[in-house]
Chains A and B, each alone.
Chain A
């Protein structure tokens, strides 16, 4: 084992990436240009990239190293978030970018890639450490992993890791198949399944809020919490991704991965240490406790929706079925709402309402924890009906766009008499700390390159998530819906409101 570097000071030094090569499959794609390359540049900008690194982009498109560099520069300049592009910094970054074109099904391509990596190890000093990033179409994942394995690229002097973008399969069976293919080449400890929601600062802040404070956790259970609502609303439609989205739908695209991970972050038990294995064990345990919905109960606990055309403010918005690339009788859910129950001591009987949709009134992601009302109201005056308008306490954790935490509580209205009004106490994450927040991809890339998998999902978590949604997907697959059932610009179908009404609850308007 190499000597540990005695000069490192974790108290003051920013976390640094060790010497390595990053191989991006699908380097000519949207994700690389919008997210990965700006994130890598920004990590370099902050001086957190090592002196010895190489980024090797690959895709079918023929390009030279120089052409690739020009293209990547343009994408960094265009998509860099909240920070300036500095020519001098780019000039220090650019020489370490390389490109190898090829077909992922061609064995010769991996031989050329091996040669590239060998040169990078020699000239850039990457120490044999390689991170393979699958940013290709999901249908190519297994082929690429097999190619890496056959060319023996998963072995070498340093570490070899694999980052996989979602979707991790399209159901439980295909997720397992993909996993088997990956595990033929990479051990689980080297596999990093990325869910960018977990890389968001505000999702991480849920852990800080829950486990860094002593006053909330005692209330964080079925005795005090009435229900939990998780909303991930988008105001946009499918934006040219109609044919892809038609095969996916809201339940698969958002709830199975992002929102169940967020739900696990809200509901998991504290781990004894903040370390990848321990934190992920708790998340997995929570997801395994999500009660599977019986086929006969799917209509009671899940609602599918699809937006129809609308006209608002003089603007015509097409319905989903009118979007380019979408079938005229598409059965895709552009809206999904599910009531989950979690069968453990902490959450037994507490509904977790999760909803997501496209063409909703605004873009917002938040979590609302509704606490039980005060058991008895002392204050009988106030409210329209002359009774006290006692509102239960509500804790809102906003993930986007205005990240923060709000607590709603009752306060006396100024003046004589005892009239109460709900007031909100706000903590704004972005404005309380005025510094730039790293993007989810910056956080997750540094983590993967440093070997920290805490914010990555694990196969058992993926399988537990698929198990939670599988009964709904199965029932919906055999159903012909009377779509569209909500207009663009509204908060989803009426059936979704009815689902909550049956429990005496209602959806918040975020």
Chain B
């Protein structure tokens, strides 16, 4: 359901939203309270020219179930157009077994990259009052644009994916700087959660008698020839957790795919490893082996985790170094 495109003035956008809700409320006069409005934050999604809009739209729709939000999707164009444009929509779904639709508001703004610095003033006028604002910047290139800092300043939390940057080091450097200024999340770090949980599980198996104290060397195994930012985070976390006495290294497994393909631990009378295989994590502790369901890491699951954390994350900061 959409409303007519209009001039990009915050008051007009809010008016369009109001009209949209009236329309939704009248769309099914047979059912009282047919539509429920839910909102826990403003989710600002910044998309660059060429970013997969369909994937972003589907991801935002999936996020609405746990983090119902007013989403503002900003599309930055690089095709030489000059106009700022905006339109409003509602995103509705019918939860299983219920009679009421749940609807969240969505505002789409298109802006040429040259006019990016004008956008924050529009956004400031349409965020939901008194609720957090989270900016998810889909494209790495956008992070370097003039006007991006002003856009990020609107948000309480910035989420980027350093894995999308041309180099891991460049991505991590951006995150380091950003996190010095505001609450920042990096999806490359979020991808490490599932691996960290498996490591914790590995040392929760008392029958092996293994403890973290025994660890002398750790190898983070990564796919391809270069270690990505997730592998760097994992190594950083292991160093921060185990202290300087433990040697933590990274090793390429060129034939395999994935930022992280496994972790190996060696020490006094112990050998252990974690690897992923077909939806399961394989935990090896000396001679023993366990298989544990290994959560799939879709984009929406990663974002769901980050949107749930609106405070500082000490382990993230320590791993970032």
Q: A127-B206, A426-B33, A430-B95 are in contact. Are A11 and B315 (CB under 8 A)?
A: yes
For A13, the chain B residues whose CB sits under 8 A away are 193, 196-197, 200
- Of A7, A46, A121, A430, the most chain B CB neighbours within 10 A belong to A7
For A402, the chain B residues whose CB sits under 8 A away are 98
Q: A6-B212, A11-B313, A426-B33 are in contact. Are A432 and B68 (CB under 8 A)?
A: yes
Q: A13-B193, A431-B102 are in contact. Are A6 and B292 (CB under 8 A)?
A: no
Q: A7-B212, A92-B291 are in contact. Are A434 and B206 (CB under 8 A)?
A: no
Q: In the complex, A8→B313 CA distance in Å?
A: 13
Say yes or no: B95 contacts A434, CB within 8 Å. Answer: yes
Q: Quick check: is A138 within 8 A (CB to CB) of the other chain?
A: no
Task: Name the interface residues of B193-217: CB closer than 8 Å to any CB of A.
Answer: 193, 196-197, 199-201, 203-208, 211-213
For A8, the chain B residues whose CB sits under 8 A away are 200
Say yes or no: A51 contacts B290, CB within 8 Å. Answer: yes
For B33, the chain A residues whose CB sits under 8 A away are 426
Say yes or no: A47 contacts B204, CB within 8 Å. Answer: no
Main secondary structure of the interface of B (DSSP, over half): mixed
Q: In the complex, A51→B201 CA distance in Å?
A: 7
Task: Name the interface residues of A2-25: CB closer than 8 Å to any CB of B.
Answer: 2-3, 5-9, 11-14, 16, 18-19
Nearest 3 CB-CB pairings of A with B? A434-B65, A125-B207, A51-B290
Say yes or no: A435 contacts B65, CB within 8 Å. Answer: yes
Q: Quick check: is B283 within 8 A (CB to CB) of the other chain?
A: yes
Q: Quick check: is B293 within 8 A (CB to CB) of the other chain?
A: yes
Q: Quick check: is B30 within 8 A (CB to CB) of the other chain?
A: no
Task: Name the interface residues of B275-321: CB closer than 8 Å to any CB of A.
Answer: 279-280, 283, 288, 290-295, 305, 309, 313-315
Say yes or no: B201 contacts A16, CB within 8 Å. Answer: yes
Q: Quick check: is A89 within 8 A (CB to CB) of the other chain?
A: yes
Q: Quick check: is A450 within 8 A (CB to CB) of the other chain?
A: no
For A6, the chain B residues whose CB sits under 8 A away are 212, 241-242
For B206, the chain A residues whose CB sits under 8 A away are 2, 19, 52, 125, 127
Task: Name the interface residues of A301-346: CB closer than 8 Å to any CB of B.
Answer: none
- Of A11, A121, A126, the most chain B CB neighbours within 10 A belong to A11
In the assembled complex, the CB of A4 is this many whole angstroms from the nearest CB of chain B, namely 9
Ordered by A's residue number, 11 sampled pairs between the chains whose C-beta atoms are within 8 Å are A5-B203, A5-B212, A6-B242, A7-B196, A52-B205, A125-B205, A126-B207, A432-B38, A434-B64, A434-B102, A435-B66
Contact with A along B95-115 (1 / 0, CB 8 A): 110101010000000000000
In the assembled complex, the CB of A377 is this many whole angstroms from the nearest CB of chain B, namely 28
Contact with A along B168-204 (1 / 0, CB 8 A): 0000000000000000000000000100110111011
Q: In the complex, A46→B197 CA distance in Å?
A: 12
Excluding A44-B293, A431-B95, 19 further A-B contacts by CB distance (< 8 Å) are A3-B211, A5-B203, A7-B212, A9-B200, A11-B314, A12-B193, A16-B197, A51-B205, A88-B279, A92-B280, A92-B292, A121-B207, A125-B208, A126-B207, A127-B206, A430-B98, A431-B100, A432-B36, A432-B68
In the assembled complex, the CB of A118 is this many whole angstroms from the nearest CB of chain B, namely 13
Specify which of A16, A45, A428, A433 is in contact with B204 (CB 8 Å cutoff). A16
In the assembled complex, the CB of B259 is this many whole angstroms from the nearest CB of chain A, namely 18
Nearest residue (CB) in A for B189 is A12
Nearest residue (CB) in A for B305 is A12
Say yes or no: B38 contacts A431, CB within 8 Å. Answer: yes
Q: In the complex, A428→B102 CA distance in Å?
A: 10
Q: In the complex, A16→B204 CA distance in Å?
A: 10
Task: Name the interface residues of A116-143: CB closer than 8 Å to any CB of B.
Answer: 121-122, 124-127
Q: A7-B196, A11-B313, A431-B36 are in contact. Are A45 and B207 (CB under 8 A)?
A: no
Contact with B along A89-104 (1 / 0, CB 8 A): 1001000000000000
Nearest residue (CB) in A for B65 is A434
Which residues of chain B have a CB within 8 Å of any CB of chain A? 33, 36, 38, 40, 64-66, 68, 93, 95-96, 98, 100, 102, 193, 196-197, 199-201, 203-208, 211-213, 241-242, 279-280, 283, 288, 290-295, 305, 309, 313-315
For A5, the chain B residues whose CB sits under 8 A away are 200, 203-204, 212
Q: In the complex, A212→B269 CA distance in Å?
A: 49
Nearest residue (CB) in A for B315 is A9
Say yes or no: A9 contacts B309, CB within 8 Å. Answer: no
For B295, the chain A residues whose CB sits under 8 A away are 47
How many interface residues does chain A have, given as a range?
35 or more
Q: Across the A-B interface, how many residue pairs have beta carbons closer than 8 Å?
A: 118
For B204, the chain A residues whose CB sits under 8 A away are 5, 16, 18-19, 50-52
For A9, the chain B residues whose CB sits under 8 A away are 193, 196, 200, 315
- Of B66, B197, B283, the most chain A CB neighbours within 10 A belong to B197
Q: In the complex, A51→B294 CA distance in Å?
A: 12
In the assembled complex, the CB of A464 is this many whole angstroms from the nearest CB of chain B, namely 38
Nearest residue (CB) in A for B100 is A431
For A121, the chain B residues whose CB sits under 8 A away are 207
Contact with B along A26-64 (1 / 0, CB 8 A): 000000000000000000111100111000000000000
Q: A51-B283, A431-B98, A431-B102 are in contact. Are A7 and B199 (CB under 8 A)?
A: yes
For B201, the chain A residues whose CB sits under 8 A away are 16, 50-51
Nearest residue (CB) in A for B311 is A11
Nearest residue (CB) in A for B67 is A433
For B95, the chain A residues whose CB sits under 8 A away are 430-431, 434
Contact with B along A143-160 (1 / 0, CB 8 A): 000000000000000000
- Of A6, A12, A50, A426, the most chain B CB neighbours within 10 A belong to A12
Nearest residue (CB) in A for B197 is A13
Contact with B along A263-289 (1 / 0, CB 8 A): 000000000000000000000000000
Q: In the complex, A7→B291 CA distance in Å?
A: 19
In the assembled complex, the CB of B291 is this many whole angstroms from the nearest CB of chain A, namely 5
Q: In the complex, A18→B199 CA distance in Å?
A: 14
For A14, the chain B residues whose CB sits under 8 A away are 197
Nearest residue (CB) in B for A428 is B36
Nearest residue (CB) in B for A435 is B66
For B211, the chain A residues whose CB sits under 8 A away are 2-3
In the assembled complex, the CB of B28 is this many whole angstroms from the nearest CB of chain A, namely 16
Q: In the complex, A89→B292 CA distance in Å?
A: 8
Q: In the complex, A155→B136 CA distance in Å?
A: 53
Q: In the complex, A14→B66 CA distance in Å?
A: 16
Q: In the complex, A46→B313 CA distance in Å?
A: 23
Q: In the complex, A431→B295 CA distance in Å?
A: 24
Q: In the complex, A87→B236 CA distance in Å?
A: 37
Task: Name the interface residues of A407-445: CB closer than 8 Å to any CB of B.
Answer: 426, 428, 430-435
Nearest residue (CB) in B for A93 is B293
For B40, the chain A residues whose CB sits under 8 A away are 432
In the assembled complex, the CB of A30 is this many whole angstroms from the nearest CB of chain B, namely 24
Q: In the complex, A394→B97 CA distance in Å?
A: 27
Specify which of A47, A92, A124, A426 is in contact with B197 (CB 8 Å cutoff). A47
In the assembled complex, the CB of B119 is this many whole angstroms from the nearest CB of chain A, namely 29
Say yes or no: B207 contacts A19, CB within 8 Å. Answer: yes
Q: A5-B204, A50-B205, A426-B33 are in contact. Are A89 and B293 (CB under 8 A)?
A: yes
In the assembled complex, the CB of A494 is this many whole angstroms from the nearest CB of chain B, namely 31
Nearest residue (CB) in A for B242 is A6
In the assembled complex, the CB of B77 is this many whole angstroms from the nearest CB of chain A, namely 32
For B64, the chain A residues whose CB sits under 8 A away are 434
In the assembled complex, the CB of B176 is this many whole angstroms from the nearest CB of chain A, namely 20
For A126, the chain B residues whose CB sits under 8 A away are 207
